[in-house]
Every structure is written in C-alpha cells, then in structure tokens.
A = this chain, B = another copy of it.
Amino acid sequence: MWKITEETFNPEKQHHKETIFTIGNGYLSTRGAFEEGYPGGSRATFIHGVFDDVPVVFTELANAPDWLPIHVYLNGERFSLATGNIEHYERQLDLRSGVLRRSVRWCSSAGDGATLVFERFASLADEHLLCIRCQVTPEFEGAVEIRAGLNGNMDNEGFAHWDWMGQGEREGVYYLHNRTRATEIDLGLAMRLISTSAPSQSDYWDAQNVPTLKLSFSAKRGETITLVKFVGIATSRDTSNPVEMAVEHARLAQSWESALEAHQRAWGREWERCDVQIEGDDEAQIAIRFNLFQLLIAAPRHDNRINIGAKTLSGFGYSGHSFWDTEIFMLPLFIYTAPEIARNLLNYRYGRLPAARQKAQTNGFDGAQFAWESADTGEEVTPTWVPHYADRTKLIRIWTGDIEIHISSDIAYSAHRYWEATGDDSWFIEQGAELVLDTARFWASRAEWNDGAKHYEFNDVIGPDEYHDHVDNNFYTNYMAKWNLQTALEVLDWLKANAPAKANELTQRLGLSRERLAKWKEVLTRIYLPTRPDGLIEQFEGYFERRAVDLAALEPRDISAQVLFGIEGCNETQVLKQPDVLMLQYLLRKDFTDEQIQINYDYYTARTDHTYGSSLGPSIQAIMACDVGKPDEAYEHFIRAARADLRDVRGNAGDGIHGASAGGTWQAIVFGFGGLRVTPQGWSTAPRLPRHWKRLAFRFLYRGELQVVDLKNS
C-alpha cells in the first residue's frame, strides 16, 4: 500500500492531480505537471525561502525556473496528451521511494505509436539534485527527437518574478542563471543529459532563458531510447555562487541507478522512523502514508530560516506563508519522529523574534507578537485588503493579521512541547526559553484590565474559529495566554536553577524585573475565564446568545456555512468553523476533567461545520471523539481529514496540500486511535481503534530512542 495510481488522465482534474503528484525533498517541491506540458496546466516548483514581492499578499514563493521540460517528437510530431491517441495511460507515485512514474502508449495523428515512460524524483540524498528518466520505445522505424531544456520564463499565476541573468555551458553541463526581481535571490539551474543510445545528431539551442538540447535518434521498432536528465539546483541562499554549485551537482551525478539508490536509501530511513501501518482499512493505510509523504517532502532538513507554508510547497495557495498550522498541526509529527526537523522549524520562529518584537512595538505592546502570516522576514504578511469576489469596485478587509493573536502562545506552546518530548535542554536554554518568555511579555502588555469586573480581558480578537471575528474574551485565546504566562514563570525558575547565566542574560535583556514578574502573576491569575458550573465553556463572550442553527437539517450541502449565511450572517449564528474549546482541551488535556471534555464535546460538535468549515477541524474532532469513547464517530472525522486532498473533498486541492490536515491526520491516529500519552516520566497508549481496523502500528522517538507501537483490535 505505497502507490497512488491514476489510470486515466482527466484534464478537468489536472490541477488537483498536479498537487497529488507533487514530489520534493525538503528543499523544494515540484507539482506533478507533465514534462511536455498540457494546456491550462499549473506547473510549479517552489524552493523553500525563495520569496519575492507581489501586490496584495506582499510576498510569495516565486515559481522557480522549470527543470522539467522534455519534448518528444515522433517522426516530427510533438508528443502531447492533448493531441494524438492515448492508448494506455498510468501515472503512479511511489510513496516509499518518492518516485513519480508515468507510462503512456501514444499514437501520433500520423499513426506513429510509441510507449513513453517518464520517471522523476528530487533526490533526498542530495537535495540539490533533480532527476528525470525518459524512455521511448517506438513501434515504427523513423525519427525520434528529444528536446530537453530548462525554462526561466515562469510566473505565479500571471506574476513574473524572475529576470534572466545569463546561461551557458561548462564541461557538458548547460546552465541557466536567473534572479528574483525584488528580493534579488540568484538561482542556478544546470542540466546534464545521458542517453543510452547514441543520437544521430545533437544540437544545443542557446535560446534566451530556454537553453535546450535537441537529440535526434534513428528509431528502430521496439528498441528503447533512454535519456536521463540530471538537474543541479542552488540559490544564493545556499552559496555565493549558485550557478557553480548547480553545475557541480549536475556534473557529479553518476548514473540514474546510483542516484536512485542513494535516494531510496534516504527514503528508507525516513519511513523507518515514522511509518504507520493500518490493517483492515486500505484507504486509511494509503491516506496516512500519502499525508506523511506530503509533510516529509516539505520538511526542511538543512535550513532553519524557513517554515512550512499552509499549503506546503505544493501549490500557489496562501503564497507559501506559514500560519499556526505548522506549530499546532504539523510540528507534532516532527517532534515525535524527526526532532531535528522540528528544531529547524522552531528555530525559524526564534530567528523571527526581531520581527515579532517590531510588530508588538508597532501595536503598542511589549515582547514578541508573531505574525499571523509569516514568510522570509517574519513581518506580518497577511493581506489587509483583498478584492471582493463579486463586486470588482469593492475590497474586503482581512482582520486576521491584526487580531488573530493566539499564534504567539501557539508558538510558545510548541517550543515547550518540543522540549518536554525530547528533553533537549540545550536547545531550550538557548532558544526555546526566549520564545516562551518574550511571548509572555506580549500577553501581559496586551491584557486589558476591566475595573468594573475586576479581571483581565482580551477584547477584539479572532480565535481559531474564524467564522466569528472581533469577539471579546475568546476562551482559547485567554486560556492560552494564561498558560503562556504561567509557563514563562516556571521556565524562568527552571532556568535560574539549571542555567543561571542564561537566566541572568534573559532577565537583563528582556527586562524581567521582579515588578514585571509580579505583574505577570497578577494578570494570569485574573484573566477572565468563565466556565458554567456544569463545565460548559462559552467560546467567547456572548456566544451563547448567538442564533442557534440546526446544521443537520442543512445537509447535504456543498458550500460552507459562511458562504450559505454570508460573512456577517454567519457571524451572528453559533455555527463554528472549528471548535476552539475542543482544540484547547486537546492541547491542554490534563487541565480538564473527563466530564468537562464530555459536555463541551457534545455541545460544540453539534454546532461545528465539519464538512466545509476549517480543514483543520476534522482531525482534532477525531481525537476528541476518541477521548469521549466514540472511535467510530472519530473515524468519520478522521477519514474526512485523511481524504482532504486525495479526494479533493473541498474542491481546492489544486491550490496545494492542506498541510494542517495532513499533520492532524497523523495526530488523530497516534493520539486519537492509539491514545498515546507522552510525559517526561514515560509514555502509554490507550488504543481506541475503529471497529474495522485489525491492527495499528506506528513509531516515534522517546528521548532519542525509537519506539514501536503495535496495537491489535480485540
């Protein structure tokens, strides 16, 4: 159960399938567009950190110069799935090895048939190496021509980011040099071809920005022509001479077989530490591996200046910007299976502390306020205004960058969780503690004293449930702020005991005077956190008075509640995009009793837009359903998350992988169905497998040791 297979090509599903068949290696990803192109295709390669300026959303990952182009001509007729006859078609992504393979038997309009096989991978063993193999087996005697090139003329759905800087040849390697227009990042792309059969003629076309090699073959019926295209890639983020580095990596690749073998070995190590096995449910089995694969190819192994975007590196959606999706949804996988990746991601946040401090200061607060949407610098890059979907003279104000403030505690929480799970004291002392302490400073300054009610409030915010904006005292936000302040005090005490020099330095640098700490204590003990006597929590002040809606009565539907009721209309109802209270209870489970979990689960589950609300919701919903002993109900939510992209259940998978959903799927399995609990004292499971699952096995690291969990349904 390792292969995602497509047996017919449907142009209408083209963008969805480009997303599904994305390959990558943690340095870049390339959507599953065809080597030869297809009309209306949305081909793209995104390289971590290669952002460039753009109107409205400020910055976006620049669609990189294209390394894929291979054009095959059969007796002069250009191979394309848009013409001729497709006699056989199969596209297959092998998740175990990260190799995408396409096999086509095609007949030109003139009647010349051939079988064409394209295989590609982005080497996980050498992240600056990309490989394609093209095999053509003609069924005729005549001319076969293969043109392999690099193409610098790429754009982001109409926005061009690259200037051509030059191109040329060095020792049989053809290179292209481009530069992003505003951020001035240089990119070198270099190509070397190896063909098994000797071409009758070989030409180099030095056409500007499209260096192309043309190989002509005298084809013999049934004799396969094999061409291997090695592409080296590097940017000025990696080296001062990216062209040279790209040329080197293309030059040093030995053979398809040896490059593939190194790549497969690297993938073997990946799966060794994180594979999940499910017996009795083939769909769940392939879906979890697919979701893991998508996260693994987006995970930075050697770079701590970048983060994973909400749509990973697999599409244009959200421009490559990172949200809390990383910390809360994707990071746990890495914390428990690949802590060095988790550390890279957290160090990205650590490196963005100056920008977070700047944001806090601009808004009149202390400490570090992290951007809701974050890219290379960590400045806030949430669009403030976006075009109205219907009226072109109007704009819609996006408020999340201004008031969806919970991301600062989410980041602190994740730094702390990483520490707790790994015991990586040295990282926590050097980086993690500061994340917790400086976000605490922010919360203390952001808290508003209500002199009438005698408590601290956080007003005019947006919680995780974005159907309701400009709300006061969102319980999730308030509680996480309290957690952040409380944890900061504990962390400082721990530092004083275990790393007094660092404690001193931070006390000085962050101004953690006795008065400030006293203020923190005062704030955290008096943050407004109302809970009904029966344990029911009000998501935000006044939520209980909003209009109730019988969501079940609206089924089936194919639009979200927000579209159904309108942005304003939805705001007035109790319908949730995702349930904040359950999210909070999941993150801080031990703070709540089973009874509190149960009553909130029952209340909010009925009020959540599970089908078309947030794609972040279903996986957490599945975990909480397990918690209240409903594994079959949990399964419904789980499989909705697991299918999100494979089945394109929201119709927008073409924009890229739902990274949070992918990460949530893993959490639902491990923490939900597996019931894994990890504490500094040890770990335990509490299996609550769906009825039809025969077996669930997964792996994780506990304090650096690989743990294998193997659960069988009884």
Q: Which residues of A contact B (CB under 8 A)?
A: 55-56, 58, 69, 71, 147, 149, 151, 153, 155, 158-161, 181, 203, 205-210, 212, 384-385, 387, 392-395
Pick the residue among B153, B207, B395 that contacts A395 (CB under 8 A): B395
Give the residue name and chain of the B residue nearest to A401 (CB): B393
Give the residue name and chain of the B residue nearest to A210 (CB): B207
Bound-complex Cα distance A599 to B209 (A): 63
Can you report 15 A-B residue pairs in the complex whose CB atoms are below 8 A from each other?
A55-B55, A58-B392, A69-B208, A151-B208, A155-B155, A158-B160, A159-B159, A205-B207, A205-B212, A207-B207, A207-B210, A208-B210, A209-B210, A384-B393, A384-B394
Q: How far is the CB of A358 from chain B (nearest CB, A)?
A: 14
Collect the chain B residues with CB atoms within 8 Å of residue A158's CB: 159-161, 181
Collect the chain B residues with CB atoms within 8 Å of residue A203's CB: 203
Q: How far is the CB of A40 from chain B (nearest CB, A)?
A: 9
Q: How many copies does the complex hold?
A: 2
Collect the chain B residues with CB atoms within 8 Å of residue A387's CB: 55
Other A-B contacts than A205-B205, A209-B210, A385-B395, 4 sampled, CB-CB below 8 A, are A155-B155, A205-B206, A210-B210, A395-B395
Q: How far is the CB of A251 from chain B (nearest CB, A)?
A: 22
Collect the chain B residues with CB atoms within 8 Å of residue A207's CB: 149, 205, 207, 210, 212
Give the residue name and chain of the B residue nearest to A151 (CB): B208
Collect the chain B residues with CB atoms within 8 Å of residue A55's CB: 55-56, 387
Q: How far is the CB of A149 from chain B (nearest CB, A)?
A: 7
Bound-complex Cα distance A181 to B160 (A): 14
Collect the chain B residues with CB atoms within 8 Å of residue A147's CB: 206
Collect the chain B residues with CB atoms within 8 Å of residue A392's CB: 58
Collect the chain B residues with CB atoms within 8 Å of residue A149's CB: 207-208
Bound-complex Cα distance A203 to B207 (A): 12
Bound-complex Cα distance A445 to B355 (A): 55
Pick the residue among B151, B160, B210, B212 that contacts A159 (CB under 8 A): B160
Collect the chain B residues with CB atoms within 8 Å of residue A210's CB: 207-210
In this complex, the member of A155, A206, A207, A393 whose beta carbon has the largest number of chain B beta carbons within 10 angstroms is A207
Give the residue name and chain of the B residue nearest to A166 (CB): B78
Bound-complex Cα distance A142 to B125 (A): 47
Bound-complex Cα distance A302 to B210 (A): 37
Q: How far is the CB of A589 from chain B (nearest CB, A)?
A: 38
Bound-complex Cα distance A508 to B701 (A): 85
